[in-house]
A = this chain, B = another copy of it.
């Protein structure tokens, strides 16, 4: 075992493949920012200076690519949950602020919320990742607020996250303020 990491599996990628994967991540991030997460696959490939097949080789579905691009930010959002719970005066406040963070994240990513609500099986991995990572955090916040009687019990955290995502989708109309509508919904949650 001369490997630096003793747990590393024997399969190692070729150097050019690693470079391409990184180039693709950079290109995808740029393309998503410029044209939304629905940007044509060919555009991303062109930005990265690779062929389209290379994208599919590294990221079998668009969802895989999206997850890879936004993983850091989703992680940060997930980790903010317990932190807010610790520092906020009440669990409800923590929940409200955490939802705000989630809205911040979603509405700076053109079309991400829309993709999140699609039932295209190609997006299953995206659903799975977001939900696996964020539902437990939301549940913890919700449970804490329920425990002190600030919020009514029996609200599915998945449903709440889903609703926030939906409210952030489709901002085509300039007079529509997603954040305000989310706050309204969170207000409706409060018991006392």
Contact = CB atoms under 8 A, between A and B. Distances in A.
A186 to B, nearest CB: 7
A52 interface: no
A54 interface: no
Copies of this chain held together in the complex: 2
A170 B169 contact: yes
Interface in A134-192: 156, 158-160, 162-163, 166-167, 169-170, 172-173, 175-178, 180-181, 183-189
B181 A184 contact: no
Chain A's interface size range is 20 to 34
Interface stretch (A27-35, A85-93, A97-105, A111-119): A111-119
Contacts of A180: 159
